[in-house]
């Protein structure tokens, strides 16, 4: 700036001297020289300023303007400010993209509505939950796309303190799905709509209620029997034979409750304890002998007059194998399968228990019986807690409805596969496949 002032004053002096020398009237000539220099200076500065203004208007900050003279300082300052602003814009855009990516990755749906409840933006989860196409439905009224009467009333009330549960767009009778929605105000009249798939939560709640109801029902029946016999023994005179009969029935019911409680504790332990390590090894022969002993004892107890035909078959190559995992859990799963076969196979029926080596695929423990068989629609649900094909038959045989649930959990905890095959009137086969990585040859 000082240099420009000096330059301007120098030109004025030069113009005054030139006008003084060229004019006949020295004073008038000097004034004319000063005026011409001032006009010329102003025109030149306006020319440079116009070029600078055009450059600024075009916004081509990557190309420097020419012939702007001493306004180069302004150009440099503008370019530096522009570059700084570009950096800030890029950082802001990156943060925005990161934020949108995080929302897109969210398991919950996020939908932005304007002050008229029109869709401005939503993530893929919300689009899936509500059946929205963002390319097609942007700026559409959300109430026109989600045609649920409950949702329409919810939008009308705008009760942001509570959530709304509706059927998902892809919900089907055979696989129902439910979506939770909640509206939140933000900005100037805008709304934030959050969606959440609560199908599994609802199913878990139903399972919890069913579990409590089933446990209560299973325990209530023997308790009622025990209470009735105890009241009879306390209030009525009974003979020795009657008393012994009552005590025997009471013993059966107490054993039934004890078995139920033990199975519940086993399930609780399986669900709450760490996965068995692969450092504990159990010989197959130990499991085999225990299963055979329990099967024959239970069969003799249930059918003392007409014994079942029970065969135990094992490959010679399996006898020297050990299994990595919890001995108690493996024994519980295998004895459950064997005892189920004994309980549900009629008198003089046949049961085949096998341990077979599958080359490159581990070993398979299977229990095949000649029982009544199971209808195909029941097979997928057999591992559910307390699920029974025939409730009365299960209670007569002393089952708790938890055995196959225990087998399923043990299989999962030992990287194994539990499978069921059955035909009505021909019997069933339950198999437990233990992978090769959990096996080794007996080193003892």
Residues 162 and 150 sit within 8 Å (Cβ to Cβ): no
Domain 106-197, architecture per CATH: 2-Layer Sandwich (3.30)
> pLDDT band for position 367 (50/70/90)?
very high
Q: What is the mean pLDDT of residues 405-429?
A: 89
Strands of the sheet with 427-434, listed across from one edge = 309-314, 350-357, 363-369, 427-434, 417-423
Give me the architecture of the 275-441 domain, per CATH. 2-Layer Sandwich (3.30)
* pTM of the entire predicted model: 0.57
Over residues 264-309, the pLDDT tens digits come to 888 777 777 788 878 889 898 999 998 888 888 888 888 877 778 8
Give the tokens for residue 212: 């409590």
Q: Chain centroid to CA 349: how far?
A: 46
DSSP 434: E
For residue 83, name the pLDDT band (cuts at 50, 70, 90).
confident
Mean pLDDT of the residues in the chain: 81
Largest CA distance in the chain: 160
Q: Average pLDDT, stretch 431-435?
A: 92
The two three-digit tokens of residue 117, written as one number: 């409840």
Location of each CATH 3.30.450.20 domain in the chain: 106-197
In this prediction, residue 443 has a pLDDT band, given cuts at 50, 70 and 90, of: very low
Here the tokens at position 21 are 């020398």
| Nearest-angstrom CA–CA distance, 140 and 321 | 67
Which part of the chain has CATH 3.30.565.10?
275-441
Please compute the mean of the pLDDT values over residues 244-249 and round it to a whole number: 86
Quick check: 373 and 428 in contact, CB under 8 A? yes
* d(C-alpha 36, C-alpha 328), whole Å: 111
Burial class (CB in 10 A: 0-12, 13-18, 19+), 417: middle
What CATH fold (topology level) applies to the domain 202-273? Helix Hairpins (1.10.287)
If residue 130 lies in a helix (H) or strand (E), which one and from where to where?
Answer: helix 124-130
**Number of C-alpha atoms within 13 angstroms, CB side, residue 278?**
9
Note whether 323 and 308 are within 8 A (CB): no
Tell me the chain's radius of gyration from C-alpha atoms: 44
Which H or E run includes 122?
Answer: strand 119-122
More confident residue, 23 or 99: 99
Strands 350-357 and 309-314: parallel
Residues 180-225 have pLDDT tens digits of 898 888 888 888 889 888 888 877 777 778 777 777 777 887 888 8
**Per DSSP, what are the bridge partners of residue 166?**
179
Q: Where in the chain is the domain with CATH 1.10.287.130?
A: 202-273
């Amino acid at each position: 700036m000082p240099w420009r002032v000096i330059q301007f004053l120098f030109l004025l002096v030069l113009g005054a001297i030139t006008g003084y020398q060229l004019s006949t009237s020295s004073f008038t000539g000097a004034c004319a020289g000063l005026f011409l220099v001032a006009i010329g200076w102003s025109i030149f500065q306006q020319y440079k300023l116009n070029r600078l203004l055009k450059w600024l208007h075009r916004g081509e900050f990557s190309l420097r303007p020419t012939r702007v003279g001493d306004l180069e300082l302004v150009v440099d300052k503008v370019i530096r400010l522009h570059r700084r602003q570009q950096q800030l814009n890029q950082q802001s855009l990156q943060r925005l993209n990161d934020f949108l990516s995080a929302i897109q990755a969210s398991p919950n749906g996020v939908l932005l509505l304007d002050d008229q409840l029109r869709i401005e933006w939503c993530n893929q989860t919300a689009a899936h939950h509500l059946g929205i196409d963002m390319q097609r439905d942007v700026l559409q009224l959300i109430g026109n796309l989600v045609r649920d009467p409950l949702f329409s009333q919810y939008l009308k009330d705008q009760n942001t303190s509570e959530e709304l549960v509706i059927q998902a767009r892809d919900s089907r009778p055979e696989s129902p799905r439910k979506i939770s929605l909640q509206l939140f105000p933000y900005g100037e009249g805008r709304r934030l709509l959050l969606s959440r798939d609560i199908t599994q939560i609802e199913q878990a709640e139903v399972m919890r209620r069913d579990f409590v109801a089933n446990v209560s029902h299973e325990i209530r029946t023997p308790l009622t029997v025990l209470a009735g016999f105890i009241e009879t023994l306390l209030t009525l005179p009974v003979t020795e034979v009657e008393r012994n009969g009552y005590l025997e029935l009471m013993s059966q019911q107490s054993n039934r409750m004890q078995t139920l409680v033990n199975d519940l504790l086993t399930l609780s332990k399986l669900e709450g304890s760490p996965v068995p390590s692969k450092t504990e090894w159990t010989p197959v022969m130990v499991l085999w002998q225990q299963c055979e002993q329990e099967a024959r004892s239970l069969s003799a107890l249930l059918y003392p007059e007409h014994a079942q035909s029970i065969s135990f078959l094992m490959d010679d190559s399996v006898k020297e194998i050990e299994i990595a995992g919890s001995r108690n859990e493996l024994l519980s799963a295998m004895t459950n399968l064997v005892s189920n076969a004994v309980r549900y196979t009629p008198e003089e029926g046949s049961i085949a228990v096998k341990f077979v080596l599958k080359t490159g695929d581990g070993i398979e423990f299977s229990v095949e019986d000649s029982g009544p068989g199971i209808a195909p629609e029941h097979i997928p649900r057999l591992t559910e807690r307390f699920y029974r094909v025939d409730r009365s038959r299960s209670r007569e045989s002393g089952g708790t409805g938890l055995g196959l649930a225990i087998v399923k959990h043990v299989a999962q905890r030992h990287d194994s596969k539990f499978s069921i095959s059955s035909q009505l009137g021909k019997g069933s086969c339950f198999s437990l496949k233990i992978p090769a990585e959990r096996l080794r040859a007996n080193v003892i």
